[in-house]
Amino acid sequence: MSDSDFTDKVVVITGAGGGLGRSHALEFAKRGAKVVVNDLGGSVDGTGASDSAKQVVQEIEAMGGTAIANGDSVADKEGAKRIIQDAVDAFGTVHILVNNAGILRDRTLKKMDMADFDLVMQVHMNGSAYVTKAAWDIMYEQRYGRIVLTSSGSGIYGNFGQSNYGAAKMAMLGFMNVLVLEGRNRNIRVNCLAPGAATRMIASIPGRDIDPDNPDPENHPRLVSPAVLFMCQEEAPSGVVINAARGNYSRAQIFVNEGVKLGVDATYEDLAAVGERLLDMTGAAPRER
Contact 71, 49 (CB under 8 A): yes
**Alpha-carbon distance 246 to 234, whole Å?**
25
Cα 78 to chain centroid, rounded: 21
Q: DSSP strand E in 4-86: where? A: 10-13, 34-38, 66-70
Q: Say yes or no to pLDDT of 217 above 90.
A: no
What is residue 1's predicted lDDT score, i.e. its pLDDT?
A: 39
- Mean pLDDT, rounded, of the chain: 92
Cα angle for residues 213, 249, 128 (degrees, 5° grid): 70
Domain ranges of the chain: 3-253, 254-289
* Helix (H), strand (E), coil (C) string for 162-216: EHHHHHHHHHHHHHHHHHHHHHHHHCEEEEEEEEECCCHHHHCCCCCCCCCCCCC
Of the pLDDT bands very low, low, confident and very high (cuts 50, 70, 90), residue 41 is: confident
What is residue 204's predicted lDDT score, i.e. its pLDDT?
A: 45
SS3 38: strand
Residue 160: Cβ within 10 Å count:
10
Average pLDDT in the 36-47 region? 78
Average pLDDT in the 26-49 region? 85
Per-range mean pLDDT, top range of 47-56, 150-159, 198-207: 150-159
CATH 3.40.50.720 fits 3-253, yes or no: yes
The DSSP code for 267 is -
Residue 12: what residue type?
V
**Alpha-carbon distance 277 to 218, whole Å?**
42
130 is catalytic: no
Q: Among the options 144, 157, 165, 249, which is catalytic?
A: 165
The DSSP code for 277 is H
What is residue 285's predicted lDDT score, i.e. its pLDDT?
A: 95
pLDDT tens for 157-196 read 999 999 999 999 999 999 999 999 999 999 999 999 999 9
Q: Say yes or no to pLDDT of 212 above 70.
A: no
The residues, ordered by sequence, that sit 6+ positions from 283 with a Cβ below 8 Å of its Cβ are 257, 258
pLDDT tens for 223-276 read 999 999 999 999 999 999 999 999 999 999 999 999 999 999 999 999 999 999
Closest CA to 148 of 88, 200, 188: 188
